Structure 1
Amino acid sequence: MFTPSQHDVRRFFCDTFRKIHAHEILTPLEAIASDWIRQHPEYEADLQNLEAALEANYSVDQGQTNPFLHLSMHLSIAEQISVDQPRGVKTAFQLLAHKFNSEHEAHHQIMECLGEMIWNSQRTGLPPDGQAYVESLQQRCR
């Protein structure tokens, strides 16, 4: 199992951003990340300076969104949808995209459920509950 550090994740997104603007060849994962980077121009300043990104602290208490966490969640959700894992996430995505007339908004709806599942897992010390995650997605589809 690949478990990148916070710095690894930040380097990945900053390097992908750099490659986009240098018109360099992207790996398949970077190509997926580049799509999400382009859809979030508000993160450009965070992605331009690797050293600043490595030092940045995004405090929820101060109302800050962590762009690296947000982009990472988009990547995770894209992967889940591509392999329909957990089973049902792909159908939920399709229904949410139709409901909101936006694949991006569908991702954000899924992100809320994914974040809740991760938070519950961290809070209880139990493994992530994929079934509860899919049920939460299905509720949003109604």
Structure 2
Amino acid sequence: MFAPSQHEVRQFFCEAYRKHRDGSPLTPIEAIAADWIAEHPEYHGDLADLDAALAASYEVEEGRTNPFLHLAMHLSISEQIGIDQPRGIKQAYELLAHKLGSAHDAQHEVMECLGEMIWASQRSGQPPDGEAYIDCVRRRATR
């Protein structure tokens, strides 16, 4: 299982942003990341300075979204949809995107479900429940 450190995640997104800005070639995963970065211009300042990014702290009490966590969730969801893992996530996401008329808005809804699944897993000490995750996305697509 790939488990990058916080430093590696931040470096990855900053580098993808730099390469995108410079017109440098991107790896396939960097290209997906760059697409999500383009959807979030409010994070460009955070991504433009690697040293500041590595030193930054995003505490919940500050009321500011951690751009690296947010982008990593977009990337994770994109990968899940691409390989339909957990099985059924692709269809549930597509239903939600169709309902909302926006892939981006649908990803933000899926993020909420992903966060709930991770929180429940951490709280219970049990493995993540992929079926509960997909059910959450389906409920959002059908309500």
> 1:96 matched to which residue of 2?
96
Residue 108 of structure 1 aligns to a residue in which SS? helix
What is the identity, as a one-letter code, of the residue corresponding to 1:63?
A: G
Q: 1:41 Cα deviation (Å)? A: 0.3
CA distance in 2, matches of 1:67, 1:38: 12
Q: After superposition, where does 1:9-20 map in structure 2 within 5 Å?
A: 9-20=9-20
Superposed, 1:101-140 pairs within 5 Å as: 101-140=101-140
In the alignment, structure 1 segments of 5+ residues that lack a partner are none
In the TM superposition, what is the alpha-carbon distance from 1:135 to its structure 2 partner? 1.0
How far residue 117 of structure 1 moved from its aligned partner, in angstroms, is 0.5
Indicate the residue corresponding to 1:62 in structure 2: 62
Q: Is the contact between residue 14 and residue 49 of structure 2 (CA under 8 Å) also seen in structure 1?
A: yes
Alignment of 1:38-77 (within 5 A): 38-77=38-77
Does the aligned pair in 1 maintain the 2:96–2:138 contact within 8 Å?
A: no
Q: Deviations over 1:62-90 (max 9, x none)?
A: 21100000000000000110111111111
Contact 2:117/2:129 (8 A) holds in 1: yes
Equivalent residue pairs, number: 142
Secondary structure of the 1:126 match is coil
Identity of aligned residues (%): 62
- 1:24-43 mapped onto 2 (5 Å cutoff): 24-43=24-43
Give the 5 Å matches for 1:73-84: 73-84=73-84
Whether the aligned pair in 1 keeps the contact of 2:16 and 2:30 (CA below 8 Å) is yes
CA distance in 1, matches of 2:124, 2:52: 34
Any stretches of 5+ residues in structure 2 without a counterpart? Answer: none
What is the one-letter code of the residue matched to 2:65? T
- In structure 2, what is the equivalent of residue 86 of structure 1? 86
Q: Is 1:3 the equivalent of 2:3?
A: yes
CA RMSD after TM alignment: 0.7
Following the alignment from structure 1 to structure 2, what is the Cα–Cα distance between the partners of residues 59 and 123? 20
Query: TM-score if structure 1 supplies the norm length?
Result: 0.98
